[in-house]
Structure 1
Amino acid sequence: MIIGELAEIIAIPAPDADVWSAFARRFSELVPGTKTLFMANDRVADCDIPLVQFGFDKGLIAEFATHYGNRNPWAPFNRQLRSLIPERTEQRLPASSFKHTEFYNDFLPRIGESDAATAMKIWNGDQRNAEFIVHYAAARDTRLNTLLDPVLKALGPVMSEAFASLRIRMDRERADRRTAMVEAMVDPAFVVAKNGKVLAVNAAGEALAREAELVRIAAGDKLEVLSTAAAQAVAEAIATVVRGDRLAAGSELTRLGAPGRTHTITVYPMMAHLGAGFGLLSPSEACVLLIVRPLLQTAAQPVELLRERFGLTAAEARLALKLMGGGSLPEVSKALGISYLTGRSQLKSIFAKVNVRRQSELVATLLSCCGWML
């Protein structure tokens, strides 16, 4: 009965976060005394990140994501999980074995009767895994696992298939957004992966590549910049983004071309090393957006273009441009010589005029609607 009801919740194709939350909640209701958590194991960042959960205090989960995930003594236990096989912490790494740690003395007491767990890897990716964890009091370990073990083994294939389906959907949606973004641009635009592969290109970019005078798309869909110095600049920019170092968005990366036909290559970093939510399970391949512009166009005044396109004031346009460079609102406000409260007020007005609700949406909209002008 438990298995059938839980399997039915995630039986729909590519269940979203709300469906997984409902699954976590219903699991804890059907197995009293448990708390449930879906978590991503990031092997690149070497940390564990919660996805959705039920039964834990949200503030404590946030602390885990920002602090204790990097201090979790159970991390080695999580790394060695075998696919679709439930594993018990009390058998492999009991909490009593790390009583001297900050995690045991500060974090565990606050989450309440959750000093043991049964975990199972339900999805395995190139850089990240996903696991389902059932937490409970260590005193109930043996008794609870007479139920948990067969239930998890039966649900494992269903959860694994649902996660795989979710990843396929996220990849497709992400590719569609990349295509829509570059197609909205007038100048040649290329979304490039860290290995140089072109993931999206607009009609102007395809035409420029066919000319094969400045750039071309070579074997394996690799972007080839036909200037040694410019190619090196692009490679260095990609390496910078891959390392996680800051690269100023919208900056002129390099110039190429012959006298009278000089172009600039402008770069926008796109790679998110950890991402958010279930996006963690399907990290974006996109590394940078490269826009090739005739040098003459760079003389345009972006502040005026934003004022005309969205009705922003000059101050709002300057703030929006700074935010496109990748800085936070406090950093940008300080750079512009205004208070944080003034910056927040201007940003609220910008959101209303551009019809977005978050900074990430603002940057994406400015790129897709007028990135070619900036």
Structure 2
Amino acid sequence: MSRAAALMHRATEALTSAIYDAALDPLHWPAVLAHLKTCFRTEAETFYVLDFDTRRLTQAHLAGITPHWMACFDGLYFAPDNPWNVHSEALHRLGMVRTNERLDAYTRERGVLYRSAYYQEWMRPQGFRYSLGNTLTNERSGIVNVTLLRAPDLPTFSAREVQLFERLSGHFARALRIRERLGAAALRRDQLAGALDSLHGGVLIVTPDGALVHGNRAALQTLAQADALVYRQGRVQAARPAWQPALAALLQAHAPRPGGLAASTDTLVLPRTGAGLPLRVQAAGLALPLSSAQSHRPCVLLALSGTPHDPPPSRADWLRQAHALTPAEARLAEALLDGLSLRHAAERLGLTYGSARTRLKGVFHKTGVRRQAELVARLQRELATPLRPH
């Protein structure tokens, strides 16, 4: 393999990896476009959606095109003299690579693109002459295209480059399907989370060793109370160490196994460290799908009951639990959350301003912030969804 061929091989491998990275996280699209530029020596690289119902370009990842020229695109591309628009249904077909020469061959008109306003008023002023594109989906309400544009001082795309682009287009199409499935899974997850949050009873999903996968709002409030169950070091545990073996045994008994789920549910009754009714914890096995239909994550669903009238934890209680604040520090933080200045908070708590400043420094250290406004903003965010795992 020649040096040039070896460099192209490495560049193609890097591009292919970037395509699948972008399927997992759209933030990788700029890297994909940069690799396309390296492989094909182009002036502009684009991944976009054409909507022929609204006659607009949407959801674009672009390199080499300024906002000014994007504002001009729709009117010129969808014009009646643009052959790409006129012959869209025939040319925007899955897997069909489009070039200027293939457009001439289809229309039987040499240089047909160059006579259009789209070329004369949009491509040519930007220094574009040759195009190389492919279609990944072909619904009229959303034709997904990848198109590269090359300057006139370079030759048109070679047969080898067209073949390489055809191979890469298969990766683009598969990456797009991965993105769609991930998006659908995220939507279902968010809908399920919303439904669970609407329940009055607590629901936790944990791994067999107690790691917290998800908790609805009621369950997270129960964990914040820390008087029957606690959330410690990423795991759900019994508040009383003497009851932890019983909780661990419950989780292990209902962890999904190759033979299937447990045939029945069991209930563990946990006493509280303070006053109040015991907490009833009902367990059932649950297998969450991972990246394929053959791979599942064993989990246990815990339904918490017996506390329908328990008040939610106070902010001060939550602050002590979440950030290991002392009662005095928690009272100061709560006063700041009420919108008081540090001086007025000191007056409410019967402190001197200097003592309040010293106490606030301790709160800063434990919460990892440096300014009062940053502290209030962080605590407000956390109080909205207490102890929700990342």
**TM-score normalised by length of structure 2:** 0.41
Q: Which has the larger radius of gyration?
A: 2
**TM-score normalised by length of structure 1:** 0.43
